[in-house]
Amino acid sequence: MSQIKKLLIIGFVWPEPNSSAAGGRMMQLISIFVANGFEITFASPALDSDFMVDLSEFGVKKISIELNNSSFDDFIIELNPDIVLFDRFMIEEQFGWRVSENCPKAIRLLDTEDLHCLRTARQKAFKENRIFELNNLLSEEVAKREIASILRCDLSFIISEFEMEILKDVFKIDSDLLHYLPFLIDEMSEGDLVKLPSFQERKNFVFIGNFLHEPNWNTVQYLKETIWSLIKKQFTDAVLEVYGAYPSQKVLQLHQPKNGFFIMGRAADANEIVKKSRIVLAPIRFGAGLKGKLLEAMQCGTPSITTTIGSEAMHNNLPWNGFITDDVEEFAKKAVELYQDENLWKQSQNNGITLINECYQISKYSVQLIEVINALLNNSESHRLHNFMGNLLQHHTLKSTKYMAKWIEAKNKN
């Protein structure tokens, strides 16, 4: 790049890569931009946490900002970024109009993380005991907000090919506004596999997931109430260790050592725990995006058993690194079989390495990302001219959201 470009990332929270896949995803994006010479400022209205990453170690400047406060206007005018990346649509709602008004030339990017409207609609269908249909999305309140945010931005990063299809087919979003960007990791070789603990060196089943995320809590409930007893019937010595950041009292109450069901709390190093485990169990019943825990399992050489939703858009029709089933009896049977059969386990492990190398290559996707961003920087006026719906929404948002924010700010001063 001929000159250093300034990138402002506005985070929903400060990145915690050891607490959630979203934190890991953000650090993957930061590493790509750092490698390509961007000058990065990360700003967030969130409170600091004990587990947030030290951004200065990556050469990223950290700034705290406030919601509904015109101090942000002064901050962004002075920073004058070339690019602004919003972390989730809620952040674009809060700050997008301020960016548009004070830095109109800045490219506006949105990292959706996953389609929140898809996760919400599936969760509602699950709780109401009905089959989810794509048409449910059209009446979803969150969808109206999320799609408006995608339209207002110059480009949105979409983590799942299934979600790309939904945005194009159900919501009729122009493909020029969407960029497919899955989780990004380095290639793995047979040599990397040899360094991992062997079948014999591993023990126990494991589940790992941030408990602030409703699908994770639901999965652990499902394991405890339905699946675990079926596994124990076939394999009396079975032990399941459940790890996750921010467990509530409800989660902690599921701890039952006599039954081999252990609630372990936050993992100091999730990677190390998954490497020492023999099987990851993830019977996920609703959600969206890609499941970081299942990709992490592949990286750790740990086979997994999950559901159709758990594996959605993750394996490109290649063999899974374990089993995919929505039937509880089959789930339990395959869990025991995979735990006890070393040859099957090794084959599943190899499937995971193939998946990583075929579907999540950082070298491939990072090059594409920078090419697309550079093209946007060079052609933003024409790009925006053709995004009429986005311009229309930007116009009305500036009017409505702006005055709501100003009213809140005035109210807070009284």
pLDDT tens across 327-384, in order? 999 999 999 999 999 999 999 999 999 999 999 999 999 999 999 999 999 999 899 8
Please write the tens of the pLDDT for every residue from 93-121: 999 999 999 999 999 999 999 999 999 99
Report whether pLDDT(410) > 90.
Answer: no
CB 303 within 8 A of CB 279: yes
| Cα 337 from chain centroid (whole Å) | 30
Cα gap 324→330, rounded to integer Å: 9
CA distance 203 to 149: 45
155 three-class SS: strand
Q: How far lies 1's CA from each of 88, 180, 181, in Å? A: 27, 23, 22
**Residue 154: which pLDDT band, with cuts at 50, 70 and 90?**
very high
Distance CA 145, CA 166 (A): 16
> Do 10 and 54 have their domain in common?
yes
**Angle between the N-to-C axes of helices 292-299 and 342-359, in degrees from 0 to 180, rounded to the nearest 10:** 110
Q: Which of 359, 377, 402 is the last residue of a domain?
A: 359
Entry pTM: 0.92
- For residue 321, the model assigns a pLDDT of 97
- What is the DSSP code (8-state) at residue 208? E
What's the mean pLDDT in 235-251?
95
Boundaries of domain holding 145: 6-184+362-413
CB 96 within 8 A of CB 149: yes
**pLDDT recorded at residue 1:** 42
Q: What percent of the chain has pLDDT over 70?
A: 97
Which of residues 359, 379, 404 is at a domain's end?
A: 359
User: What pLDDT does 397 receive?
Assistant: 66
Residue 49 maps to a domain:
yes
- Statement: residue 55 has pLDDT above 70: yes
- The predicted model gives 41-70 an average pLDDT of 96
| Average of per-residue pLDDT values in the chain | 94
Residues 255 and 146 in one domain: no
Q: Are residues 400 and 321 in the same domain?
A: no
**Is 1 contained in some domain?**
no
Would you place residue 259 in the very low, low, confident or very high pLDDT band (cuts 50, 70, 90)? very high
Instruction: Answer whether residue 2 shows pLDDT above 60.
Output: no
**Tokens found for residue 34:** 């750092």
Can you tell me the distance from the alpha carbon of 401 to that of 96, in angstroms, rounded to the nearest whole number? 10
Dmax (CA) for the chain in angstroms is: 69
pLDDT at 200 over 50: yes
CATH number at 303 reads 3.40.50.2000
Q: Please indicate, yes or no, whether residues 250 and 106 belong to a single structural domain of this protein.
A: no
Q: What share of the chain is helix, strand, coil (3-state, %, to 5)?
A: 50, 15, 35
Inter-residue contact 108 to 154 (CB < 8 Å): yes
Among residues 300, 242, 310, 313, which one has the least CA distance to residue 274?
300
